[in-house]
Structure formats: structure tokens, C-alpha cells
Amino acid sequence: MSKRVVESTADGVLLRVAVKPRSRARTFIANIGVESVNLNLKAPAREGKANAELLKRVAKLLKLSTADVILVSGSKSRDKTLLIRGVTADRVLSVLQAVKNNK
């Protein structure tokens, strides 16, 4: 059984992402797939810079504090899982789709 992109849990919403550090692409959201959201990051994958950019940009996108977006797995991988508090799974999906469709 495949994992879903967005999943509700008792602690919040799990968002599965696949990041591309040091990307030259202008768009943040490259693709919304079945198992993960592909995201382009400008920061390099060194010293946690890409992870910090990821958390900051996702929080800004959802209009949340960076403390509400937590990296729960994949700190040294391109495939990551974020725990997002204070928002519903439907809201996360709708915001991601709206941003993807507008850019």
C-alpha cells in the first residue's frame, strides 16, 4: 500500500515531500504526485540549509509559524516527512494545489 501525500494524524498533518536542493527552477512546487510533493529549494543540502529553507517556506505558504512545521524524517535524504500542526489535511492540499496552479 502506498503512502499518501497528506495524511491526518492525532498530532497534526503529515506531508511527504521530495526536495531538489540548489535548484535553479523559479517555482517552489514542481509537482504534486500520488506519494509526495516535489519541491525546488535554492539552498544547498549542506549544514541543514535546505532543511531550514524547506521548513520556512512551507510555514510561510500555509501562513503558520515555523514552530508549527517539524521535520520528522529524512533530515539527510531528499525524501522527507513534515509534521504540520494547526491546519487540516484538506487545507494543506488546497493551498498546495492553488499555488501549483497559479505559477
Segments making up each domain of the chain, as ranges: 6-102
Q: Which residue has the higher pLDDT, 1 or 77?
A: 77
Under the banding of pLDDT at 50, 70 and 90, the label for residue 103 is: low
Under the banding of pLDDT at 50, 70 and 90, the label for residue 3 is: low
**Which overall architecture, per CATH, does domain 6-102 show?**
2-Layer Sandwich (3.30)
Q: Which residue has the higher pLDDT, 101 or 39?
A: 39
| Residue 14 vs residues 6, 73, 80, 86: alpha-carbon distances, Å | 6, 10, 10, 12
Mean pLDDT of 68-95: 97
- Alpha helices, H only, the chain: 49-61, 89-102
Q: Which cell goes with 83?
A: 509534521
Q: What is the pLDDT of residue 2?
A: 46
